[in-house]
């Protein structure tokens, strides 16, 4: 009987190990989309570094938002960490409704994304979307947005096209995050006004003297653009890659942690991988919580991350 029980225990342990490593072979390489925003770039960098520690390989593609959602729906990309809702609803929701894209987790539950204004115009009375048209001369008739295809850009352009808030004579300036912020920072140095797409978390909230505009709830959501950021994946990802799904289900950030990541990577003589590595080392409790119920890709318990024993939260 003792020998029989020993054999049963050995078989049971073997089965557990096999289940831990039972993901589809396609899960060995996790393909990410990065739309070039500093927050998404840094959360993706942290995630890729962590996945490498678990035995996964990763790839990242720099795509526009429309390209990202099309690639997810077509199964050409696995995961995107920057699904801002409701701003991206027009791009994401049709695919979510059909199951071609699935939401894994809300990774940042309280954020903001809407139009913002620099201090000179705000002090002069530009507090609301309805006030923008009164400051057309001071603003040069321009509203500064992000890259082409961005959901926020589309909402601003729809206001201009429909003459909502009297904006028919304004022009939307589409550019990258860095180009937009460079223009706004220059305007601030010159004491000029600017209206632009703003969001938090982002270092701009400390670096610029800016305020968010009210009145855009019908476009950017209630409470002056209050929003949430989710991790989304190609349809079927959670079933195909159960170990990875557990990690992404566990993985959440805070405004403070994302702001720290973004600010650090903007410092001279640094790079995203170095910043991500330091963040993981500085936040062992958060990382341990992310890894609850997660195994190494080939099976087995996770005992160390970056050469350091895993914190007791696991």
Residues 185 and 258 in one domain: no
Domain count, the chain: 2
- Structure-token pair, residue 130: 């309805």
Do the beta carbons of residue 145 and residue 173 sit within 8 Å? yes
pLDDT one-digit tens code per residue, 279-306? 999 999 999 999 999 999 999 999 999 9
Find the domain containing 188 and state its range. Answer: 112-226
**Site of tokens 């729809």:** 158
Smallest CA-to-CA distance from 92 within 233, 252, 247 is with: 233
Residue 7 lies in a domain: no
Q: How far apart are CA 61 and CA 216, in angstroms?
A: 32
Residue 180 lies in a domain: yes
pLDDT one-digit tens code per residue, 214-273? 999 999 888 878 889 999 999 999 999 999 999 999 999 988 888 888 888 777 777 889
pLDDT one-digit tens code per residue, 144-168? 999 888 889 999 999 999 999 999 9
Q: How far apart are CA 51 and CA 296, in angstroms?
A: 9
CA distances from 19 to 60, 65, 105, 283 (A): 28, 36, 23, 29
Around Cβ 200, how many Cβ atoms within 10 Å?
Answer: 20
Residues 105 and 157 in one domain: no
pTM comes to 0.77
Residues 185 and 253 in one domain: no
């Amino acid at each position: 009987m003792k020998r029989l029980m020993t054999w049963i225990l050995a078989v049971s342990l073997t089965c557990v190990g096999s289940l831990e490593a039972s993901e589809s072979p396609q899960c060995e390489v996790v393909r990410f989309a990065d739309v070039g925003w500093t927050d998404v770039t840094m959360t993706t960098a942290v995630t890729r570094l962590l996945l490498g520690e678990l035995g996964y390989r990763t790839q990242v593609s720099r795509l526009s938002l429309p390209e990202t959602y099309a690639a997810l729906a077509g199964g050409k990309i696995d995961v995107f960490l920057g699904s801002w809702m409701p701003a991206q609803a027009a791009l994401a929701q049709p695919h979510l409704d059909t199951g071609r894209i699935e939401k894994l987790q809300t990774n940042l539950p309280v954020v903001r994304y809407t139009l913002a204004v620099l201090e000179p115009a705000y002090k002069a009375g530009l507090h609301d979307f309805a006030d923008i048209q009164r400051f057309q001369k001071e603003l040069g008739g321009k509203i500064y947005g992000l890259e082409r295809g961005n959901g926020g850009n589309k909402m601003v352009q729809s206001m201009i096209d429909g003459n909502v808030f009297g904006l028919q004579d304004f022009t939307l300036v589409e550019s990258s995050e860095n180009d937009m912020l460079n223009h706004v920072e220059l305007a601030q140095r010159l004491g000029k006004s600017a209206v632009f797409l703003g969001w938090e978390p982002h270092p701009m909230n400390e670096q610029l003297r800016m305020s968010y505009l009210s009145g855009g709830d019908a476009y950017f959501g209630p409470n002056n653009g209050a929003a949430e950021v989710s991790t989304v994946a190609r349809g079927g990802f959670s079933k195909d890659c159960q170990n990875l799904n557990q990690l992404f289900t566990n993985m959440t950030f805070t405004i403070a942690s994302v702001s720290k990541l973004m600010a650090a990577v903007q410092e001279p003589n640094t790079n995203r991988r170095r910043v991500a590595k330091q963040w993981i080392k500085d936040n062992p409790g958060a990382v341990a919580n992310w890894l609850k119920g997660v195994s190494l890709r080939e099976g087995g318990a996770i005992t160390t991350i970056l050469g350091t024993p895993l914190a007791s939260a696991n």
